[in-house]
Amino acid sequence: MKILVVENDKSLAAALTGLLAANNYTIDLANDGQTALDLVTAIEYDLILLDLQIPQLDGISLSRQLRSQGYSKAILLLTEKNTNINIVAALDAGADDYLIKPYNPEVLLARIQALLRRTGGNPSCTLSWGNLCLDSISGKVTCGDRLIPLTATEYSLLELFLQNPDRIFNRSAILDRLWGFDDAPTENAVTVHIKDLRKKLKLGGLNGEILETVYGMGYRLKPAPDRLISTPETNKDSQQKPRVKDISSVNRVLQKFRNSFAEQIAVLAEAKTALLAGNCNEELHHKAKHKAHQLTGSMGSFGYPEGSKLARELEHLLIKNGALKPDEICRFSQLVTALEQELTKPPIPINIQPNQTLETHRVLVIDDDTVLTEKLQAEANLWGIRLKIAPDLPTARLRLAMATPDAILLDLSFADTEEDGLTLLRELAEQSPQIPVVVFTARDSLADRVAVSRLGAKQFLHKPAAIEDIFEAIARVLPQPKTSEAKILIVDDDPAILAGLSALLTPWGLEVTTLTEPQRFWEVLIATSPDLVLLDLEIPSRGEVFADHNYELTDNLYRQTLWRYIGLELCQVVRQDTHWGDLPILVVTAHTDAESLQQAFAAGADDFITKPVLGPELVTRILSRIERVRYRKKAV
């Protein structure tokens, strides 16, 4: 459950964050109403915990504005004003409930749970997928009017996927969620339970497959049937292939932010008019620079790569402190016009599949059936697998001597030879027992099965079998990447970027906390204890980060230093701390000049990612960085 805490009292915000985090809620923080409004527009929350007295936009005004925009999630108001007038005003503005400060933490948690139940944010409500319905109160699963009897484990599996529709779970994560440490079965048992669940749902009348296998990663709930887009060319074979979503969660975020792109470009158009008239003041110059900076990252990340290039050139023109020359003003005008035209075009669709970032597995197929091996070759890329074919055992031995595959698909019988596949299996058991073997054969005697089992094969598959079944058998024995849950803190001033990155990373089991206010970085870092920080190098700030230290910053220092390097300051703060000094930090920047990157690494950044952010690259770097750190800690 994701909760937005809107509180400008730092000590109270820290206490709330700690309390909610300890009770397994994911938290974002905002210390004023306008920031909260931006975050709610960008990110899906299950509940808003809202203080009545906050700057810029008070709690009642914020609640009223959200309800006027059709916002339907729960709002719990915190207030020190225990008067009927204030309580009535809060409820009239759209708050679902209120709590008087000071409050008992147990009472607060109970109110939150009650609101989540009433508003559908709590997992103990009715969950549905097409005409399938799971009622957690009665414990019944129905498909239409038919009751589907499930075991307790099958019921828990189904509930887990329905509660997390975009989440990928590998078998290890499922074990962690559904079984205790002492009584957890093997990972193969998870595969059996999922197979049984699929079978029972189908027998119960469910049309279509509810769970999809994300090959090399785990399992995920498929989009419900009413969300699928069918085409006349759809056939049985194409339905069996891993499907790319027609509208990714990232693209859905884009729909929310198209208007904000237009508003940002409008500021640049205003600056263009002022520059042409010779009356562009410092405030407008700075505002336009900020908008160009945001557009550089967000447009490219949401389907407008050309718009990102145009915005970057505009930012480079505006980053100069002096007045623009006539030729620069002319170029500025041309760029703004081109940017306005770019936004009139449809965005390039963004289809980001997790398996795009995975390492391709190498599989050796030892079989003399050329028709079968050609079909496997044609489908292999869709499953993240690179095949090598050996039509006989001598060729197989030669290929094994040249390179070690990640898995082997082995037939037991070969034409024109008396040599048996069991011979090679025996050799593999003695020389390369670490290579998982799937035996795929027309032989189905008990003696063969016992022999295969004794020689250490991982799977036995009987011919004939569908191509999908063959690849599923291979996928079950391939090394499973470690995708254990981790927490990510993302710091960026652009709500569009935060929303897009959150939508991109959440399906990977990453718990994402977003932050637009650098002055709250340290308290959020302490409260959330992230495994990695994703930090924008250029976070605009007017010096409020240093307000507690009575720094007096001149406008010139602000323009020259804080505009580009506040991210570096935060990076240095982390590296100087004895507890957090080893925390992985990835810096995001639109500037790849040698000086900027040198400063980033000197400040302590582990790696940098260039704006616009490419989804597969980002996911790969984050997961690999987290796993390297965890491996290093285990080795110590």
Q: Are 484 and 172 in contact (CB under 8 A)?
A: yes
Is residue 207 located within the same domain as residue 274?
no
Residue 26's pLDDT band, with cuts at 50, 70 and 90, is: confident
Q: Is 183 part of any domain? A: yes
In whole angstroms, what is the distance from residue 634 CA to residue 51 CA? 42
Structural domain containing residue 284: 249-343
Which of 138, 115, 136, 118 has its CA nearest to residue 127?
Answer: 136
Does this model's pTM top 0.75? My answer is no
CA dist 505 to 218, 289, 508, 512, 620, Å? 16, 29, 6, 7, 11
Neighbours of 606 (CB within 10 A): 19
Tell me the CATH number at 149: 1.10.10.10
**pLDDT recorded at residue 239:** 35
Shared domain for 339 and 398, answered yes or no, is no
Regarding whether 498 and 635 lie in a shared domain, the answer is yes
- Starting at the earlier edge strand, list the strands of the sheet with 146-147: 126-129, 132-135, 140-143, 146-147
Domain shared by 41 and 76, yes or no: yes
Q: What is the pLDDT of residue 533?
A: 92
CATH number for the domain harbouring residue 331: 1.20.120
| Residue 439 in domain | yes
Enumerate the β-bridge partners of residue 230: none
* One domain, residues 517 and 632: yes
pLDDT of residue 259: 67
Two structure tokens written together for 398: 């030669």
How many Å is the maximal CA-CA distance in the chain?
A: 93
- DSSP strands (E only) in 304-444: 361-366, 385-390, 407-410, 437-441
Q: Are strands 140-143 and 132-135 parallel, antiparallel or unpaired?
A: antiparallel
Q: Tell me if residue 186 falls in helix, strand or coil.
A: coil
User: Do 48 and 135 reside in the same domain of the chain?
Assistant: no
Rounded CA-CA distance 386/364 in Å is 9
| pLDDT range class, residue 631, cuts 50, 70, 90 | low
In a domain, 412, yes or no: yes
Are 493 and 621 found together in one domain? yes
Evaluate whether residue 175 is within a structural domain: yes
Confidence at residue 610, expressed as pLDDT on a 0 to 100 scale: 75
pLDDT above 70 for 86: no
CATH number of the domain residue 376 falls in: 3.40.50.2300
Give the chain's domain count.
5
| Contact between 433 and 454 (Cβ < 8 Å) | no
Q: Confidence band (pLDDT; 50, 70, 90) for 563? A: very low
pLDDT tens-place string over residues 125-151:
578 888 888 887 667 889 888 899 888
Task: Note whether residue 449 is domain-resident.
Answer: yes
